[in-house]
A and B are shown apart, each in its own frame.
Chain A
């Protein structure tokens, strides 16, 4: 037989093999975590941590980079889902929710800014890190809340606050890139026009896709299966279009989700659950995130990272505890809500990437601080969400049992 028809050894890996392997490995890691009564996400991330040295030993680092495609899709799904959960009319009906959002975002970023400035970072660097710190990881919150079958005011408010702080963080990071442009001495037109392009272009892309999806939805049967396929297709395409157009993936997808909500626009698009399909991507997202995190950043920027984490947590708690009780939340609920806002993960990484991609030389130290904080929060964040939702009484309790022959007492 012609030897060209047979593979050469060692076998060359390709992204499909990698996706499958990461998925199964992540799933197994998640199950181990679950056995230990930890959120599965922690298992996924730990598998990623463990995989990183293996990947470099097997020299499949470049392949991991190719697999970023899956990460982008996963983030697209998360952000779209989050955008759909962002209910702006709720903010009108309950001003305390808007105040809580403002409060926790400002307090967290303000304290991070002060902490990093005190540690000697330049204002612009500290400012960008502070803006990135506003954002809570939507994927961690969604996954842990769904796993714990959490339901109630704290869960719902957490979704809305996470959506808002992700949105605000990415808008501010986008705006700060103007200053970065200025700092690296680009012309003033670029400094103004580029952020404007990112902002307006991303919103327009999100809006246009939502309108198109709505139009197509109006032409096909209103079945959840069809609408699921429609939305999944559009989300993946939206990620690609945002990348091709050099727009902000975060803003585009959040906007798409937000505009795909049904309020006041007829009700053509069904609120289908992207559920199981998107969870496949979430697993891979966390494994790859774990694998791509440089654990050594903890060594190089440990103190800065710790300061960021603590200042951020203090800000989130202060903002939530100040305003949420005014909206009728009990102290226990407000505390739980603040805890759910702690995770930092792939969204922070993506924001960091956006800045670093524009100017690779900009702030190596800053990068290490943010990455160090993300490493810590990858593990602490899911625990905080799990604890917060349980503390607030929103996770599923165990079923009660009675012996046969029991009757109800008076």
Chain B
């Protein structure tokens, strides 16, 4: 049966943020999600908060936005509500792509039907999937646009990796990577990228074939870095670590929105195959070296430093950014890129100061809680929802 692509308003954005649920004693992950979610269900937050694969995670789903600022305000208001509820349960919540020292075998699968099946099928991979990403949805007018945009956005995947990287530590050690989270994703059999199909119809053929082999039954079975999301009428960029602040998460969503606008307006008809030939290499470079990664450019047959590539791209899309109300977000991203600042560096600096990863997580939670400052009374969750 063909997958129906539900169209949505082009260039609308929404984000999903996977967050860590911690105890406040040693800031290890803890089984706090069920109680936290029960409490949040009554809190009337502007975003939806849902369970994730293990009980030490929650996922925030924003509503759909056209502009950066209201998205940032909504995420901050939701953050405040979560912080308040977590405090009553003596839990802390924070961003970051992976917990630096938790033991994966201590995690508990969230007992929904789907997660229990995922766990039964994937064994330890399911618990190891306790990593925390930001997913950005961008609305598109048609399935064909979704296929086009998914392919063309692949070139910018390293940008999102470097800008969001916040998981340099795993299992108590510095991995030397800017993000270690993506290794947990790569372990799944259907990880990778969209195959080289040219239209939604062609994609449906591919999907039917895979379903016919008895390998997949829904889009959720593809653990791709970017994938079309026919139910929402969006493409979903799933590559990023959850940043350490909600503001950065909103800024990255704005960057994705502006890039999508640029790609849809200035359509590229060059073959996609060469881009996918260098895809894995560039992805690795960005994960390992962040802004200092050397990206292979299959058209120019050269390498370019990721930092310069981001800055050049920001320069190119500046006007679209102004038009979409994303200028301040792009400026902030440009500034961080210019100075080589990302969350991975922040975390490493905290570690070199304190010498202990539990302290790093504590500071991480404080940053999540306090930056940007709590939303004022005029933007209290209830009012924000009423205003929509």
Interface residues of A, Cβ cutoff 8 Å to B: 84-85, 87, 90, 93-94, 149, 151-153, 156, 221-222, 267, 270-271, 273, 327-328, 330, 393-394, 396-397, 399-402, 405-410
Which residue in B90, B111, B358 is a CB contact (below 8 Å) of A270? B358
Q: How far is the CB of A190 from chain B (nearest CB, A)?
A: 41
> Is B356 in contact with chain A by the CB < 8 A criterion?
yes
Which residue in A152, A222, A397, A410 is a CB contact (below 8 Å) of B32? A152
> Given A402-B117, A406-B120, A408-B117, does the pair A85, B25 have CB atoms closer than 8 Å?
yes
Chain A residues in 8 Å Cβ range of B220: 408
Chain B residues in 8 Å Cβ range of A328: 35, 38-39, 88
Flag if B89 contacts A407 (CB, 8 Å): no
Count of residues in B whose CB is under 8 Å from the partner chain: 39
Q: How far is the CB of A163 from chain B (nearest CB, A)?
A: 12
Flag if B214 contacts A399 (CB, 8 Å): no
Flag if A400 contacts B214 (CB, 8 Å): no
Nearest to B87 among chain A residues (CB) is: A93
Flag if B356 contacts A222 (CB, 8 Å): yes
> Given A399-B119, A400-B119, A409-B117, does the pair A151, B358 have CB atoms closer than 8 Å?
no
Separation of A158 and B146 alpha carbons in the complex (Å) = 51
Q: How far is the CB of A68 from chain B (nearest CB, A)?
A: 31
Q: How far is the CB of A216 from chain B (nearest CB, A)?
A: 16
> Given A93-B87, A394-B31, does the pair A221, B355 have CB atoms closer than 8 Å?
yes
Chain B residues in 8 Å Cβ range of A405: 214
Which residue in A90, A152, A156, A402 is a CB contact (below 8 Å) of B121? A402
Separation of A93 and B91 alpha carbons in the complex (Å) = 11
Separation of A407 and B220 alpha carbons in the complex (Å) = 12
Flag if A152 contacts B35 (CB, 8 Å): yes
Known contacts A327-B88, A400-B117, A405-B214, then 6 further A-B pairs from the complex at CB < 8 Å, ordered by chain A residue: A93-B88, A152-B32, A156-B23, A222-B355, A222-B356, A408-B221
Residues of chain B in range 203-222 having any CB-CB distance to chain A below 8 Å: 214-218, 220-221
Could you show 5 A-B contacts with beta carbons less than 8 Å apart?
A: A149-B106, A271-B26, A400-B109, A408-B114, A410-B217
Flag if A407 contacts B121 (CB, 8 Å): yes
Chain A residues in 8 Å Cβ range of B30: 151-152
> Is B325 in contact with chain A by the CB < 8 A criterion?
no
> Given A271-B25, A327-B88, does the pair A406, B31 have CB atoms closer than 8 Å?
no
> Is B34 in contact with chain A by the CB < 8 A criterion?
yes
Flag if B34 contacts A152 (CB, 8 Å): yes
Separation of A397 and B107 alpha carbons in the complex (Å) = 11
> Is B354 in contact with chain A by the CB < 8 A criterion?
yes
Residues of chain B in range 21-58 having any CB-CB distance to chain A below 8 Å: 23-26, 30-32, 34-35, 38-39
Chain B residues in 8 Å Cβ range of A273: 26
Flag if A408 contacts B90 (CB, 8 Å): no
Flag if A406 contacts B121 (CB, 8 Å): yes
Separation of A85 and B90 alpha carbons in the complex (Å) = 11
> Is B359 in contact with chain A by the CB < 8 A criterion?
yes
Chain B residues in 8 Å Cβ range of A393: 34
Flag if B90 contacts A87 (CB, 8 Å): yes
Separation of A93 and B84 alpha carbons in the complex (Å) = 9
Nearest to A405 among chain B residues (CB) is: B214
Flag if B362 contacts A267 (CB, 8 Å): yes
> Is B317 in contact with chain A by the CB < 8 A criterion?
no
> Is B118 in contact with chain A by the CB < 8 A criterion?
yes
Separation of A102 and B26 alpha carbons in the complex (Å) = 27
Flag if B216 contacts A407 (CB, 8 Å): yes
> Is B116 in contact with chain A by the CB < 8 A criterion?
yes
Flag if B121 contacts A267 (CB, 8 Å): no
Flag if A408 contacts B118 (CB, 8 Å): yes
Chain B residues in 8 Å Cβ range of A221: 355
> Is B345 in contact with chain A by the CB < 8 A criterion?
no
Chain B residues in 8 Å Cβ range of A85: 25
Separation of A93 and B86 alpha carbons in the complex (Å) = 10
Lowest 8 A-B CB distances belong to which pairs? A402-B120, A151-B31, A271-B26, A400-B120, A222-B355, A90-B90, A94-B88, A153-B35
Chain B residues in 8 Å Cβ range of A406: 117, 120-121
> Is B367 in contact with chain A by the CB < 8 A criterion?
no
Separation of A408 and B117 alpha carbons in the complex (Å) = 7
> Is B102 in contact with chain A by the CB < 8 A criterion?
no
Chain B residues in 8 Å Cβ range of A400: 109, 116-117, 119-120
Separation of A328 and B120 alpha carbons in the complex (Å) = 32
Flag if A222 contacts B120 (CB, 8 Å): no
Chain B residues in 8 Å Cβ range of A408: 114, 117-118, 121, 217-218, 220-221
Separation of A394 and B34 alpha carbons in the complex (Å) = 11
Q: How far is the CB of A399 from chain B (nearest CB, A)?
A: 7
Chain A residues in 8 Å Cβ range of B23: 156
Q: How far is the CB of B3 from chain A (nearest CB, A)?
A: 11
Nearest to B36 among chain A residues (CB) is: A153
Nearest to A402 among chain B residues (CB) is: B120
> Is B108 in contact with chain A by the CB < 8 A criterion?
yes
Nearest to B34 among chain A residues (CB) is: A152
Separation of A410 and B89 alpha carbons in the complex (Å) = 34
Flag if A156 contacts B214 (CB, 8 Å): no
Chain B residues in 8 Å Cβ range of A153: 32, 35, 89
Residues of chain B in range 107-156 having any CB-CB distance to chain A below 8 Å: 108-109, 111, 114, 116-121
